[in-house]
A and B are shown apart, each in its own frame.
Chain A
Amino acid sequence: MAELRDKLMQYTYADTRQLVILVEDAATLIEQQGEAAFAAFGKKNSRWLNNKYYLFVYDIPGKCAFHPVEPSLIGQDMSNFRDIENRPVIQMITEVGKSPAPDSSGWVFYLWEDPARLFPFWKSSYVRKAITPQNKVYLVGSGSYNIKPEKKFVQQQVDKAAAEMRQLGGKAFIKKLKTQHDNFHFMNSYLAVMDANGNFLVDPNFPSLNIKRNLLKMFKLHGVNIGDTALKALKTKDQVWVCYVWPNEESGKLQRKLAYIKKVYSDNAIYYITMGFYPATPIWMK
């Protein structure tokens, strides 16, 4: 109970919390009843299956164990399934189960091809590991098309990128980001990498052009140099949240934006990995 409360405290929006509670409760049911819980998950107009939510279940190798919307997938090995931008969706889901914690959880973002829609849509899914009484490990999850970006999402993507950079080495990681499509970007949030002086090594705005930008020269708005503030803070901290005002890519209007910057030591150098998002405005303020 206390763990769930701690998990929920990490989210700002009620609809995110609602999705987390649904999946956490489904995982608890699997932990208690094993595969028998799937029958309840498949009941139409129930809490588990309605016009807003449905649950999916995969095992660790990536075989679909339960899918009420696409029953033909059940029993199939889906580990090689990729979205339109080549993201290994099911591998990203099963990755959550590889953490040693018995109740590990995480968010997965992908472009989902829904038969009821013309184009693939961004889907944000919350996935939770559940171990049955027979010790079988499953990944249960549910997603939403309309979820608002949360601090937790951005932090998770940057932390994942930092872990991969540490594993591959800075230069190799940057080369991979430049040559392959990255799995970190979701919705309007893109991953950027800078050196210790704020020079962009991976620039989401100019992925292929050889344009050199510097953080210190970018974020000067209303006389406040956000880049300078961020780099100063990073001298004493390993990660910081930076808030600033930035034109929204869709509306063009200035909007509050939050960016998470993490310092990574690799190849005897310091790198900064960053990603930002536009937090939602309260409904009564519109």
Chain B
Amino acid sequence: MAKKPANLIYGLEDRPPLLTLFFLGLQHIFLMSSTLILPVVLISEIGGSFEQVCSVVAMTMIACGIGTIVQAMRWGGIGSGYVCPNLCGPNFFIASMDAAWLGGLPLMRGMTIAAGLVEAVFSRFVGKLKFLFPPEITGLVVLMVAFSLIPLGASKFLGINYQGEPIQINCLWVASATLLIMVGINVWSKGKLRLYSVLAGMFCGYLLSYAAGLITSTQLNHLMNAPLVASPFFGSILNVTFQWTLLPTFIIVSITGALKSFGNLIMCEKVNDEEWKEPDMQRISNGLTADAICVTASGLLGGMASDTSASNVALSSASGATSRTIAFMAGGLFIFLGFFPKITGILTLMPMPVMGAILIFVTCFMIMSGFQIILSSGVNIKKTFVVGVAIIFAFSLDLLPSLYDGVPYLLRPLFDSSLTLSTVLAITLNQILSLHEEQTKNKN
């Protein structure tokens, strides 16, 4: 039985008052919207129309809303029962872009459905792999998920999108102020104000961004001209194609996404249980199935592939509110808002510094959680090498990617992300270094 940590204001089974629940849900959906810019970029890149952009954004929101609700349920082997919302997955972006680039939206949808099915299969086996994931490896996965948010958070914080662009001083000031507000409320406030630290930071961030000219009149015009209510475009729902040659890429992205969700679900367990010792693999397996359903739903509906959100899990921890009813509220609101282009517009217009500040804020919590999980069962010489070697090579991949240019084609997927590389290295090394322990046990 999980023990509710003392720092939680609303634990997993608590029911916040309706108005509080609404604002907590709202806070989550703002964060879930932070990557809605990805389908906008993707559809614009392939020359899609404004209607297609609206449709894909709306469908992505609806799929993510469904995923968030399903994840919070515990229903016949589906759902972890935690607040672990889905958002448009940044790790799917390049693969989705490649598919859309080659075969338009029908191919992107087909490949997204395939990725969802791959994760569904993976989720059913992950329960049997508990021996591979001692605390130091699960902590490492959480830590690497946090590190994967750094490039996005830091670049948005500085207002830089592409190499060679200058630091936007306006952006830096607004991001710093937004971050300070969120951190300040968390560190110095007492009582329930902490619940809304991100919402308060975001509100001030939007105002400051407008004052600093970071929300342009063109963006506001688009917002004003968007209809208040509109049904998402269902015209081509059966228009799905598939390409075998793209499958390996989508399998890798899907497994990487599943590993990331694995880390997020471990963090959910830890946030909700003061006496957490090791992952509940059955619950994680069910959570991954819920994630797989969300990815498949994204493809079926015509949205962009989704992923569980590390930043939302960290937000729950930061605000001290992990009640599963928040997930139902956030998911429901996200689905509802999919039918309101004007409100969707406000979410997708989230200024870069606000996005950057939030990502930096929530990543701090994830980094500390990762370290805490790694160190939760003490330190020994085996763990030192398992964690150390994995982190060294993961960082070498991020800092010096060209080191691995000569990797044989068959091994390339391993080197596509530092999360995958560090996880595989840590698992392998842990098994090799445990051989001696096993032999000693057998002799005794």
Contacts and interface: CB of A to CB of B under 8 A. Distances in A.
B164 A222 contact: no
Contacts, number: 77
A245 B98 contact: yes
Given A224-B103, A243-B45, A284 B163 contact: no
Contact of A244 (B102, B152, B243): B102
A187 to B, nearest CB: 14
B45 A222 contact: no
B186 interface: no
Interface residues of A, number: 28
A112 to B, nearest CB: 18
A286 B162 contact: no
A226 B107 CA distance: 14
B236 interface: no
Nearest to A253: B405
Interface string A236-252: 00000101110000000
Interface stretch (A7-15, A32-40, A88-96, A262-270): A7-15
B245 interface: yes
A9 B222 CA distance: 13
A283 B166 contact: no
Contacts of B365: none
B47 A241 contact: yes
Contacts of A232: none
Interface residues of B, number: 31
Nearest to B153: A284
A15 B163 CA distance: 9
A216 B244 CA distance: 21
B162 A221 contact: no
Contact of B161 (A5, A14, A244): A14
A280 interface: yes
B319 to A, nearest CB: 25
A264 to B, nearest CB: 21
Interface of B (DSSP majority class): helix
B163 A280 contact: yes
Contacts of A244: 101-102
Given A15-B164, A223-B245, A224-B243, A245 B101 contact: yes
A221 B161 contact: no
B238 interface: no
B100 to A, nearest CB: 8
A107 B12 CA distance: 59
A194 B401 CA distance: 39
B184 interface: no
A82 interface: no
B245 to A, nearest CB: 5
Chain A, interface SS category: mixed
B162 A280 contact: yes
Contacts of B155: 282-284
A148 B243 contact: no
Contacts of A226: 102
Contact of B102 (A148, A221, A282, A283): A221
Contacts of A15: 162, 164-166
B165 A13 contact: yes
B230 interface: no
A146 B244 CA distance: 38
Contacts of B166: 14-15, 18
A285 B95 CA distance: 12
A285 B94 contact: yes
Contacts of A245: 98, 101-102
A279 interface: yes
Given A222-B243, A224-B103, A285-B93, A256 B98 contact: yes
Contacts of A223: 243-245
Nearest to A223: B243
Contact of B162 (A9, A241, A283): A283
A157 to B, nearest CB: 19
7 contacts: A14-B166, A18-B166, A221-B102, A223-B244, A243-B47, A243-B102, A285-B151
Given A9-B218, A14-B165, A245-B102, 11 more contacts: A15-B162, A15-B164, A18-B166, A146-B164, A223-B243, A224-B103, A243-B47, A244-B101, A245-B101, A282-B155, A283-B161
Interface of A: 5, 9, 12-15, 18, 146-148, 221-224, 226, 241, 243-245, 256, 279-286
Top 5 A-B pairs ranked by shortest CB distance?
A284-B151, A14-B165, A284-B152, A243-B101, A284-B155
